[in-house]
A and B are shown apart, each in its own frame.
Chain A
């Protein structure tokens, strides 16, 4: 025998249990071929109900005006843009896992990448709703697209960060969707080939684009994956950078900050991984995939969370320092009064954010807690609450008391239709995610198979025997050959 890749015995296996290729296919495709459980139906109908409530909230807002929301002359953006940034941020973990971890050859990504990419796409779909429907005249939304038109010299304003957003988000969505779908092709073909009903065969046959599994197909597939990974990598950094420009390039004290791009990117990955954790912990339990999404996977993601959480914490402290050091009275007011002063109207939101994003992730320095499912699930929710408040703090506590004290605002809290819109995006997200869980292979079958023989538990155990029998021969013949 000869090895293509050798993985140290020190490393935890990426696939637990006694698996062979067939068993992997069985485990992952079975949920697609079975009738969904009662729980699935309950979850799905709740999601659809939320989605419908969201649709009605948007109907109200479009028919009667943005005045259905509690924004005002001073606070032009509130929950709408907060939710937008929050959802976009969540998407980032999927792209990081699929692109950057692929380029860095992190084997553990294979267990979670499919679902994380799906999460990215659904999150970006939710995010996109907010900048669209927050427009006062959404029926004129096509004005933001630079297409040839009959309006003479009227064209979009390339100086506006909102326009950059249009490009950033649409590019991000397109590339993520392509990447996700191209990865799905071989797995759809697997489902098609196992299909016992004509209808399923036809549907998955169409979805698989005629994948035959030939070497040529695999070769092109690998090249395409690398190209798309290369395209996605800068997007991990650029999308949230551009979103941060909405604030950083303005003159509002508390928004006008050069630290925003890296700080937003770190925060995006932070919240994204938290969301992946929330979803994965549920998915592995419900679909019985504990062997593929192992404690090792969860621990790896918790490490990313504590890292990015600490970066975000550094950014918060840097902001405070610069506000003091810069001696700009408006910025000082934004940081030390609007936010830092616990007794000011919105002080509570700043401290809630600090606690959720900076203090609580520090638990994950402990290996025991990193590998504890309950703690991880709880923390993943805390982190996403914290990251929602980060965006809320940035947006609302900056504008509600800015330059002219005469225009300082009264207390802003959302109307039922603002909340409804937000709940509606949860409905959209989970409706999509439930459909994904039912009809799509939630783990990349082909990719798991690629790491199975080096990182599967049973294969590693077999390797141990060979290694022990004649260690010297093993290293000279096999390991060196592999590297």
Chain B
């Protein structure tokens, strides 16, 4: 939001904060220790309390007083925040104090209205400099406030989702980090074969010649900035659904950044993991669709046929990565039912959805991408419109190597080049080169044998501290014991 100048940008408002994963609001971020002191619940030890905290969007509200001004804000627990410190974001709650809804929507914009509270009164000014820190007084109130969070659970629960280590141990034994998963793959494979793809299933194996699209994402360079998420929304006409819908976990983002707290939760590390459709070669979503609306292309894409989809949502249930998004309501005005964006009795759609559908704003839509109607599933397509264009280009120029130039929207927007994409059958492609980093290349939940086409390069931190789950020798046990205590925040 910056200083608030971006407050009327629905894409930005709906973009989850990299750490807190909250949209459309600001809040008082608080460490676990302070929360324990104020509310008597130790979410690090008491699993029931942390569960109860995470599954309800309603968060307790506190009254924050600083520089003689006070503000009521919901409390958001963020592990790792210093005890006796709270953090509040600026740039929210646009509009003069007490301004009417009309004034705000007319002067600033509909997206800005109702998004958070203005924290500027708490900021001090000593005559020369604006002071962004101040002594504050925090009081409990009896009310709660629902926050629209896109991710509520912070730990990976030791599942084979992320891998990380420190530089020292990676140099000492590069194979160690992925040793366990490699061993488990061998355990699943039958007849002593080492080919996990071919021999860990009872079904026949198909060769995949020609183009096979794949992606590799380097967790080392990903900073969690989320530029890719906005780029994806812009490229693929992904709907903005507004605060109320995000609260109900109806956000439509094809690409999300999963944030994972690791290590000591009082001073955690964070791993960011961009997560989108993994385009599995053995996709669990494809075989459960009764009408074959989602299927596999000969180029390794998991495709969605919107016209065919009847919306049983079975594919979304069966997707282990939970990347399929359902059009719960008519977010795009592309529906055959007239005027259904404004139900007669009550409305659970935000006005910002209507804003995104007025004649002028609709010009932002990418004409190369279908606008999805209500009742169908959608998901990452690997920017299939760009892939198609690059193939046509290569054909016209009679130069197959031109498909190497293709860039997905997320890849193009990534400031740190964490995402590489291309034909994995082409050894010269970016993605093939990235994947050659054998000791870091892994697939999320690989043991399920869904054979994803997106791989990740594990995070190696340039530090001597012990990182995450991977510790050596006697300390491993200690690490395990600690993990048991780990709460999910």
Q: Are A70 and B314 in contact (CB under 8 A)?
A: no
Most buried by B among A73, A246, A250: A73
Instruction: List the B side residues contacting A72 at CB < 8 Å.
Output: 248-250
Known: A251-B320, A406-B258, A410-B152. Is A156-B291 also a contact (CB below 8 A)? yes
Stretch from A57-65, A286-294, A311-319, A435-443 forming part of the interface with B: A57-65
Minimum Cβ distance to chain A for residue B60 (Å):
16
Known: A67-B328, A250-B317, A404-B320. Is A157-B287 also a contact (CB below 8 A)? yes
CA distance A66 to B326 in the complex (A): 9
Known: A65-B329, A160-B314, A250-B284. Is A73-B374 also a contact (CB below 8 A)? no
The residue on A at minimum CB distance from B256 is: A406
Known: A157-B291, A343-B51, A345-B52. Is A250-B348 also a contact (CB below 8 A)? no
- B313 contacts the other chain (CB 8 A): yes
The residue on B at minimum CB distance from A403 is: B320
Tell me the residues in window 247-285 of chain B with beta carbons closer than 8 Å to chain A beta carbons.
Answer: 248-251, 256, 258-260, 273, 275, 284
The residue on A at minimum CB distance from B341 is: A64
CA distance A476 to B115 in the complex (A): 94
Instruction: List the B side residues contacting A160 at CB < 8 Å.
Output: 287-290, 292, 314
Tell me the residues in window 282-340 of chain A with beta carbons closer than 8 Å to chain B beta carbons.
Answer: 329-330, 333
What 1/0 flags go to B278-314 for Cβ under 8 Å of A?
A: 0000001001111110000000000000001111111
Instruction: List the B side residues contacting A71 at CB < 8 Å.
Output: 313, 328
Q: Are A402 and B322 in contact (CB under 8 A)?
A: yes
CA distance A70 to B244 in the complex (A): 12
Known: A67-B250, A156-B291, A405-B157. Is A162-B318 also a contact (CB below 8 A)? no
Q: How many residues of B contact A (CB 8 A)?
A: 71
Minimum Cβ distance to chain B for residue A78 (Å):
10
Instruction: List the A side residues contacting B80 at CB < 8 Å.
Output: none
- A195 contacts the other chain (CB 8 A): no
Q: Are B290 and A163 in contact (CB under 8 A)?
A: yes
Instruction: List the A side residues contacting B444 at CB < 8 Å.
Output: 404
CA distance A236 to B352 in the complex (A): 51
Minimum Cβ distance to chain B for residue A205 (Å):
43
Minimum Cβ distance to chain A for residue B102 (Å):
26
What 1/0 flags go to A358-378 for Cβ under 8 Å of B?
A: 000000000000000000000
- A107 contacts the other chain (CB 8 A): no
Q: Are A66 and B314 in contact (CB under 8 A)?
A: no
- B156 contacts the other chain (CB 8 A): yes
- B243 contacts the other chain (CB 8 A): no
Q: Are A250 and B318 in contact (CB under 8 A)?
A: yes
The residue on A at minimum CB distance from B325 is: A73
Partner of A144, one of B245, B291, B445: B291
Instruction: List the A side residues contacting B237 at CB < 8 Å.
Output: none
- B233 contacts the other chain (CB 8 A): no
- B55 contacts the other chain (CB 8 A): yes
CA distance A72 to B313 in the complex (A): 10
CA distance A144 to B288 in the complex (A): 12
Q: Give me the 7 closest cross-chain CB pairs, A-B, nearest first.
A: A136-B311, A136-B375, A67-B328, A72-B249, A76-B313, A407-B322, A67-B329
Inter-chain pairs besides A77-B313, A402-B320, 9 sampled, C-beta below 8 Å: A63-B340, A67-B329, A68-B348, A74-B249, A135-B310, A137-B374, A159-B287, A341-B47, A403-B448
Show 16 A/B contacts (Cβ-Cβ < 8 Å), sorted by A.
A63-B340, A64-B343, A66-B311, A135-B375, A136-B311, A136-B312, A137-B373, A156-B291, A160-B288, A160-B289, A401-B153, A403-B159, A403-B322, A404-B322, A407-B321, A409-B249
